[in-house]
Amino acid sequence: MLEQLLATPDPTAGDEYAWRNAAACLNEDPELFFPEGESERYAPQIDAALSVCAACEVAESCLRYALETEQRSGIWGGTTATARRDLEVVAGRVRTAVTAGNGQVVAAVADQPDVGLRRAAG
């Protein structure tokens, strides 16, 4: 699946997906990035995939793509499916708080998601 995505250009995308050509995973086995789970049993595979992402110059674009297209499985942009869900929850909280706060700036504590939202300093 990943190999096909990376190898098949989208003719409607223009330069939007050009980042795929520079992906560190381009010549890796796609199965590496799609472990069957996220339990301790799959930790070596996940760690190997994340190490490829760590050296990738387009990991941020890859993560953006995964979030925009709601990729629910696999390692994308240096994140697991669980990590992406956590990012989406935090982003949802920020959107809700900004709307509820009449556009006032708020900040989420991303590394402590249970803390919730607080006003940004300044």
CB contact set of 8 (below 8 Å; sequence gap of 6+): none
Evaluate if pTM is beyond 0.95. no
CB 24 within 8 A of CB 55: yes
Q: What is the pLDDT along the chain (122 residues), one digit of tens a residue?
A: 455 555 554 444 567 789 999 999 999 999 999 999 999 999 999 999 999 999 999 999 999 999 989 999 999 999 999 999 988 877 776 565 555 555 554 444 444 444 333 333 43
What is the helix (H) or strand (E) element at residue 106, kind and residue range? strand 106-108
